[in-house]
Amino acid sequence: LFSAVPAAPPDPILSITAAFRADPSPKKVNLGVGAYRTDDGLPYVLPIVRQYERHFANDHSLNHEYLPQDGLTHFTVHSARLMFGKHSAPLNDNRVVTVQALSGTGALRIGFAFIATFLGQRLVYVPNPTWSNHRNVVPHAGLPPTRTYRYFDAATCAVDIDGLLADLKAAVPGSIVIFHGCAHNPTGADPSREQWKQILQVVKEAALVPFFDNAYQGFASGDLDTDAWSTRLFADSGIEMFVAQSYAKNMGMYGERVGALNVVLSSSSSVDIVRGQLKRLIRATYSSPPLHGARIAAAIMSDEHAFRSWQTELRTMSERIRNMRTRLRDCLVANGAPGNWDHIVKQIGMFSFTGLNAEQVRFIRSKYHVYMTLNGRISMAGLTEATVQYVADAICDAVKS
Ligand code: LMR
């Protein structure tokens, strides 16, 4: 029965974690998966999350009943407000459908399943490069394999805005376009606000449908509103669009799978229909989402004091990452590593797109036990004061070899 099942290719990101775990070397450093670590290299549970965990554990009026298919209303209402802002036109017009999702990936998967089921076989354009799972999720949801639009200029380590606009202008009308709302993964290069306005213009002229993947709100700049700016620009412009949200990085609840899918409609008359079909898709896929993490996220977002404490944590986490950028760049320069390393400090978010090629990445892994994805992306949050010099030595050796 199973002999004809082909082996699955290894996941470009998660297979790095598995290889790292299997490596017995005491010197090993994991810069693969995007997960925040303290300066001791340990996973971090936000104190405000701990506080609510204790609070809920002691509240015996709570139970573990099923949520409805679209999740915890207290969570989805606050999640949409966080994403679209206090003065959001579509929210105030009651034309946003928000359903709880299994973090960002779950939001994308249900969103694309909805598109495949009700909006036809549309093409989906992703930036080149993009988070590897985008290319996975889209065909898995029943749509054609993704196409790419130009995004990154390796020579300037910045957004190739001319290439991007030209490719979107040439895209098949009605296609879906994935945008990273902030902290583009893997490049760490985001369009400027002026460039986002140009992109919006082209999206409108070319009749494209944006699907924002906003997995790093508050984590990129340390400010929740700043990191929502591009998504809000599009949502307030009156177009219809999709937005995926994740609370993995910004609340550190990676394994709890807390997220949301938002569908922005042109009119409130379709809200019930779209919500009903999303609920049906969710029911067929996993019935209903988990309660624990959503309950914590909702509590944090709805209490003023807790919200402020969360904002402080976001600033602390993003500052540690920025500090690691400076430290790594400085160590590379002090080491005399050939080339210019300023892009490491210019990039934003969890990752740095170092410019290392696959051969150099393999060299660093086998000689130094430092793990990163083959495209040369490193998770800055995996670096610590204790490891940054070692990693800089490894990179320097690879570049000089
Ligand atoms: C990453 O890009 O490393 C993260 O978004 C984690 C993941 O699921 O790939």
Write down how long the chain is.
401
User: Catalytic residue at 249?
Assistant: yes
Q: Which atom, in ligand 1's list, is nearest to the CA of 186? A: 2
Mutate which of 33, 134, 137, 379 to test ligand 1's pocket (most atoms within 8 Å of Cβ)? 33
Query: Closest Cα to atom 1, ligand 1: which residue?
Result: 34
Ranges for all domains in the chain classified under CATH 3.40.640.10: 73-302
Q: Which one of 160, 196, 249, 341 is the catalytic residue?
A: 249
Portion of the chain with pLDDT greater than 90, in percent: 98
Cβ proximity of 377 and 13 under 8 Å: no
Given a cut of 90, whether residue 200 has pLDDT beyond it is: yes
Q: Are 122 and 143 in contact (CB under 8 A)?
A: yes
The yes-or-no answer on residue 342 being catalytic is no
Which residue owns the Cα nearest ligand 1 atom 4? 34
Q: CATH number of 14-45+319-400: 3.90.1150.10, 1.10.287.110, 3.40.50.720, 3.20.20.450?
A: 3.90.1150.10
Q: What's the CATH fold of domain 73-302?
A: Aspartate Aminotransferase; domain 2 (3.40.640)
Q: Ligand 1: residues whose CB is within 6 Å?
A: 13, 33-34, 131, 133, 185
Question: Please, what is the average pLDDT of the chain?
Answer: 96
The C-alpha atoms of residue 23 and residue 32 are separated, in whole angstroms, by 14
Confidence (pLDDT) at 328? 97
Range list for CATH 3.90.1150.10 in the chain: 14-45+319-400
Q: Which residues pair with 180 in a beta bridge?
A: 213
Given pLDDT bands bounded at 50, 70 and 90, which one contains residue 401?
confident
Mean pLDDT (whole number) for 22-26 = 97
Among protein residues, the one whose CA lies closest to atom 9 of ligand 1 = 13
For 353-380, the pLDDT digits (tens) are: 999 999 999 999 999 999 999 999 999 9
Note whether 152 and 31 are within 8 A (CB). no
ipTM for the assembly: 0.95
pLDDT of residue 143: 98
Residues 84-123 pLDDT 10s: 999 999 999 999 999 999 999 999 999 999 999 999 999 9
Q: How many CB atoms lie within 10 A of CB 92?
A: 11
Distance 254 CA to ligand 1 centre (A): 10
Q: DSSP state, 33?
A: S
